[in-house]
Amino acid sequence: PALKYSQLAAFDKAMIHLVKAYDVLADPRPHLRYEHNDHKLLAFERGGLSFFFSFHPTHSFTDYLIDWQPGSYRMIFNTDDHIFGGHGRLTADQEHRTLQENVQGPSGRHRLSLYLPNRTALVLRPEDISPAPHG
């Protein structure tokens, strides 16, 4: 019972479902959007989805600001979920909206403010994108 195989199997199943449901592999390569070596953070887009990884072994980041495309995003996956053996620090299905900073002009700068717990990954989808139809 102390082994994590069932949680790893749940993670594998959920990731395969996510990749198929959003046709992620149709996009030939990920588009790196953010990297911070000291914080051990990485963010990229692929297949219309936004992927955020915190590889930091001990430090969690609250209200971490990352420049991002303006819009509203829904968390559709996170590795900190109890079903995967995580600590449940993230709220499933949470909505994130970019914050606009007016920097010399009407366009401004758009940022996501995220809670990035240590050793976790999360996936956000823009609110205007839904899973691909199955056929």
Query: pLDDT (tens digit, 0 to 9) for every residue of the chain, 135 residues total?
Result: 667 788 988 999 999 999 999 999 999 999 999 999 999 999 999 999 999 999 999 999 999 999 999 999 999 999 999 999 999 999 989 999 999 887 666 667 899 999 999 999 999 999 987 676 654
CA 67 to chain CA centroid, Å, is 14
* Cα–Cα distance measured from residue 51 to residue 75, given in angstroms and rounded to the nearest whole number: 10
Backbone angles phi, psi at 19, to 5 degrees: -60, -40
CA atoms within 13 A on the CB side of 72: 5
pLDDT, residue 45, reads 96
Tokens of 46: 């692929």
CA-based nearest residue to 118, from 74, 38, 71, 56: 56
* Cα–Cα distance measured from residue 44 to residue 125, given in angstroms and rounded to the nearest whole number: 12
pTM: 0.88
Provide Rg for the chain, Cα atoms: 16
Q: What single-letter amino acid sits at 102?
A: N
Percentage of residues of the chain with pLDDT beyond 70: 90
Residues in the chain: 135
